[in-house]
Amino acid sequence: MTRRNARNRKRKRFQASSISALLPGTLDKGRKRGQSQQTKRQPRRKRRSKFLARITARWEFSHYFAALLATIGLLGVFLLFTDPRFAVETPIVSGNQYTDTNEIISMAAVDHANIFTVNPDQITARLSLIPQIQEAHVRLGLPNRVSIDVMERAPMVLYVREGEAFWVDMEGKIFPAAELTADLPVLLDDDNSASMDGKRLDPSLIQAITTLNASMPELTEFRYRRDYGLYFLSPEGWRVFLGDADHMTEKLLNWQSIRQQLIQQGRQIEIVDLRFNNVYVR
**96-103 long-range contacts, Cβ below 8 Å, gap at least 24?**
96/133, 96/150, 96/152, 97/152, 98/132, 98/152, 98/178, 98/179, 99/130, 99/132, 99/133, 99/150, 99/152, 99/178, 103/130
Distance (Å, whole) CA 272 – CA 270: 7
Cβ atoms < 10 Å from Cβ of 115: 20
3-state secondary structure the chain: CHHHHHHHHHHHHHHHHHHHHHCHHHHHHHHHHHHHHHHHHHHHHHHHHHHHHHHHHHHHHHHHHHHHHHHHHHHHHHHHHHCHHHECCCCEEECCCCCCHHHHHHHHCCCCCEHHHCCHHHHHHHHCCCCCEEEEEEEEECCCEEEEEEEECCCCEEEEECCEEEEECCCCEEEECCCCCCCCCEEEECCCCCCCCCCECCHHHHHHHHHHHHHCCCCCEEEEECCCEEEEECCCCCEEEEECCCCHHHHHHHHHHHHHHHHHHCCCCCEEECCCCCCEEC
pLDDT in tens, the chain (282 residues): 455 555 555 555 545 444 444 445 554 555 555 555 554 555 555 455 665 566 555 556 566 566 666 666 665 555 565 678 888 989 999 999 989 999 999 999 998 898 888 999 999 999 999 999 999 999 999 899 999 999 999 999 999 999 899 999 999 999 999 877 768 999 999 999 999 898 999 999 999 999 999 999 999 999 999 999 999 999 999 999 999 988 888 998 999 889 989 988 888 899 999 998 888 998
**Would you say 130 and 104 are in contact if contact means Cβ atoms under 8 Å apart?**
yes
Q: Is-above-0.85 flag for pTM?
A: no
**Cα angle 216, 218, 221; round to 5:** 95
